Chain A
């Protein structure tokens, strides 16, 4: 079983739509959780950390379910600029494990 598994998508959604996707992890010792965004041929950029209680950052909501070992990301009111690949990332003692990414394409 892969350490981190994501639905690769792509999720093609119209502007203004809501899109959500999950990511599962196998290492129960994972300590910290993040969503990163990666644009084509660029480095990943931190979108948000994910906390046990769930957290929001503007149109983005992240949830963590430790019992089922997954995190989720929900994007409300999608913008064209949200088109990217979203990477779920887990860390254990500063070592990061990356998912292969979920591609989201927002169309006008």
Chain B
């Protein structure tokens, strides 16, 4: 099946720093990528939908100035958590939807962010 990678797989940072997470589709072109966040024992929550070459669409309650998304190519989307705080500690997962495929999304392995 399609492969999606994320980097880094985990990161620990100090409060106030910014963290960039990359999501890549390795063997297909992804016109649309999604960014999710999952807190312990909770469901994945969609944060934003990222379309190549256009601005991301954020879900209600997600601050676009805090979670910067860039989808500059058909194989790469990045999520930057700006001025991270402990409450931003979570499991961030991206998924990718390819051209001409069904609505099955392929998930990256996730990035575990811990903000001290």
Interface of A with B (CB < 8 Å)? 4, 8, 31-32, 34, 41-46, 49, 87, 91, 94-101
| Given A43-B108, A43-B110, A94 contacting B43 (CB threshold 8 A) | no
Q: Which B residues are CB-close (under 8 A) to A46?
A: 104
The CA-CA distance from A96 to B104 in the complex, in Å, is 10
Residues from 14 to 38 in B contacting A, C-beta threshold 8 Å = 32, 34, 36
B87 interface hit (Cβ, 8 Å):
no
B35 CB to nearest chain A CB (Å): 12
Of all chain B residues, which has the CB nearest A36? B107
The CA-CA distance from A101 to B44 in the complex, in Å, is 10
Do B44 and A94 touch across chains, with their CB atoms under 8 A apart?
Answer: no
| Given A41-B91, A43-B93, A96 contacting B46 (CB threshold 8 A) | yes
Chain A to chain B: the 9 pairs with minimum beta-carbon distance, closest first: A100-B43, A43-B107, A98-B43, A98-B44, A43-B110, A43-B109, A94-B103, A91-B103, A43-B93
The CA-CA distance from A11 to B91 in the complex, in Å, is 24
The CA-CA distance from A95 to B41 in the complex, in Å, is 21
Do A44 and B109 touch across chains, with their CB atoms under 8 A apart?
Answer: no
Q: Which A residues are CB-close (under 8 A) to B44?
A: 44, 87, 96, 98
Select B43's contact among A31, A32, A42, A99, beta carbons within 8 Å. Answer: A99
Of all chain A residues, which has the CB nearest B42? A100
